[in-house]
Amino acid sequence: MEKELTPREKDRIIEMAWEDRTPFEAITFQFGLSEQDVIEFMRNEMKPSSFRMWRKRVQGRSTKHAKLRDPEMDRFKSSRQKHISHNKIPKR
């Protein structure tokens, strides 16, 4: 990794890496980190036991690799996710 990441960016990368439906390609697109960079990043940022648990979870998981995903699974949005339009959170 060449760029120094902010704590907020680090938290987001970890969050995206743990999400089942977020492929490594999305992390590459957003942060410029390859799958191998993400693995190295997670190894450095997490406790060894947490890293092993994460690796076991994502290894071979088809949803973490865009090429292995079901073609109909393009984007995912949880029904509990707030609707955001034009990058502004609507007033309550």
Domain contains 80: no
Distance separating alpha carbons of residues 61 and 24, to the nearest angstrom: 11
The total of structural domains in the chain comes to: 1
83 in a domain, yes or no? no
Q: What is the pLDDT of residues 12-38, one digit of tens each?
A: 999 999 988 888 888 999 999 999 999
Give the pLDDT score at 88. Answer: 54
In a domain? residue 11: yes
User: Residue 56 is part of which domain span?
Assistant: 7-65
Cα-based distances in Å from 91 to 54, 78, 79: 37, 20, 19
| Domain annotation covers residue 42 | yes
36 found inside a domain: yes
In this prediction, residue 23 carries a pLDDT of 87
Q: Which residue has the higher pLDDT, 85 or 5?
A: 5
Tell me, yes or no, whether 14 lies in a domain.
Answer: yes
Residues 31-76: pLDDT tens digits?
A: 999 999 999 999 999 999 999 999 998 887 776 766 655 555 555 5
